[in-house]
A = this chain, B = another copy of it.
Amino acid sequence: MLKTPETRTDSKTKSKVREAAPANRILVGDCVSLMRDLPAGSVDMVFADPPYNLQLSGDLMRPNHTRVDGVDEEWDRFADFATYDRFTRDWLGAARHALKDDGTLWVIGSYHNIFRVGAILQDLGYWILNDIIWRKTNPMPNFRGKRFTNAHETMIWAAKSQDAKYFFAYEAMKNLNEELQMRSDWLFPLCTGSERLRDADGNKAHPTQKPEALLYRVLSSSTRVGDTVLDPFFGTGTTGAVAKRLRRNWIGIEREKTYAEVALSRIGQVEPAAEAELLEPPTKRSQPRVPFGWLVERGLLQPGTTLYDTRRRHSARIKADGTLVGANHLGEHNGSIHKVGAAMQGLPACNGWTFWHYVEGGQLAPIDMLRQRVIAEMH
């Protein structure tokens, strides 16, 4: 086991008492057995960049590299895919063991292997959340002019099961995209230039090093500060480097000791980003719940005050218990800000916080402004 300088074994303080995974380490060896040795349900996310179909790289071809003719060919082909499928089932199963029930899995691949990976992970019970396209700004051209330029790779993002409560940093993703929802197609350049790790002779340290920007978006979309990320095909440690930068814990598994050594030295040079609060913008959903009645209790709104919608088409009065009463052609409506807002509009539901407004200096202001004031006082 290789250790980083800043080795930590922070016992995570989550609700369930579980054994923590050994964080910020590289484990050298076979990822299937090493993942099975990790405590069950101990990591928040798995990012995997598995080898492509070995049939293509020749590893699964016959030793003499001959191709079989005729009837035998189909069997041979089946055998190759079957071997790759078995390998895929094994590591996806082991990852499932290490992954928390509410954790998520990312896998990246190309058309050579991604269809097999996707089908198998569905068979194992993973629930696909998105497939994400990494569009390359600078792909390798198709030199022979026989196909379209293969200008993308595919990632699958999946939860452990259909009803898992996975984490998605919706607001952070939206902020990264200038207030528009982040889409399933991402544009990044290949890993080249100074980011690309090379040995003393100038040769690539690893043939398929991924760009850090890609991992930056993956990790910030689906993990929180302090979470643990497991990468079973660690290579030269892009996942670990970005995890450290974003103040996530990481576990890398790598079979080749040479890669692991490069990765360890690389990660040692990474500086974690500025203060944690810069990394974790408060999401609306994680804010404390403030019932409307609290505003009345605190005197921010008086019983008897009239509330309006933005166009003053609807109005309702505040009762002392924090409910509203309003009337339209359908009759009188009593209840929560949400229920009355919905009833007045004839809709099945309504967010009363943004629908109802109070009058301040002749202007209408949403009652949500008052809630924000209360939330600010709670810190």
| Residue pair B123, A78 in contact (C-beta under 8 Å) | yes
Check A299 against B81 for contact (C-beta < 8 Å).
no
- Within A128-178, the residues touching B (CB, 8 Å) are 128-133, 135, 137-139, 141-142, 145-152, 154, 156-157, 168-173, 175-178
A87 an interface residue at 8 Å Cβ cutoff? no
B304–A65 CB distance below 8 A: no
Asked if B151 contacts A183 (CB within 8 A), the reply is yes
Choose from B139, B146, B176 the contact partner of A321 (Cβ within 8 Å).
B176
In the complex, A291 has a CB within 8 A of chain B: yes
**Residues of chain B within 8 A of A142, CB atoms compared:** 181
| CB 8 Å contact bits of A76-93 with B (1 = contact, 0 = none) | 011001000000000000
**Whole-angstrom distance from the CB of A71 to the nearest CB of chain B?**
12
The distance in angstroms between the C-alpha atoms of A187 and B291, with both chains bound, is 11
Return the CB mask of A203-242 against B: 1 if under 8 Å, else 0: 0000000001100110011000000000000000000000
Pick the residue among B176, B294, B296 that contacts A322 (CB under 8 A): B176
Whether the Cβ atoms of A152 and B185 lie closer than 8 Å is yes
| Min C-beta distance of A268 to chain B, whole Å | 18
Number of interface residues, chain A, beta carbon within 8 A: 104
Closest B residue to A322 by CB, please name it. Answer: B176
Contact A115 B119, beta carbon cutoff 8 Å? yes
Convert A188-202 into 0s and 1s, putting 1 for each residue whose CB lies closer than 8 angstroms to a CB of B.
110000010000000
A107–B379 alpha-carbon span in the complex (Å): 28
Stoichiometry, as copies per complex, reads: 2
**Does A266 touch B at the CB level, under 8 Å?**
no
- Closest Cβ–Cβ distance, residue A360 to chain B (whole Å): 16
Q: Tell whether A81 pairs with B183 under 8 Å between CB atoms, given A111-B131, A147-B129, A320-B279.
A: no
Within 8 Å CB of A185, what residues of B? 133, 135, 151-152, 185
CA distance A129 to B144 in the complex (A): 13
Binding site for B on A (CB under 8 A): 61, 65, 74, 77-78, 81, 110-112, 114-119, 122-123, 125, 128-133, 135, 137-139, 141-142, 145-152, 154, 156-157, 168-173, 175-185, 187-189, 195, 212-213, 216-217, 220-221, 246, 273-275, 278-279, 281, 289, 291-294, 296-299, 302-304, 317-323, 325, 334, 336, 347-350, 377-379
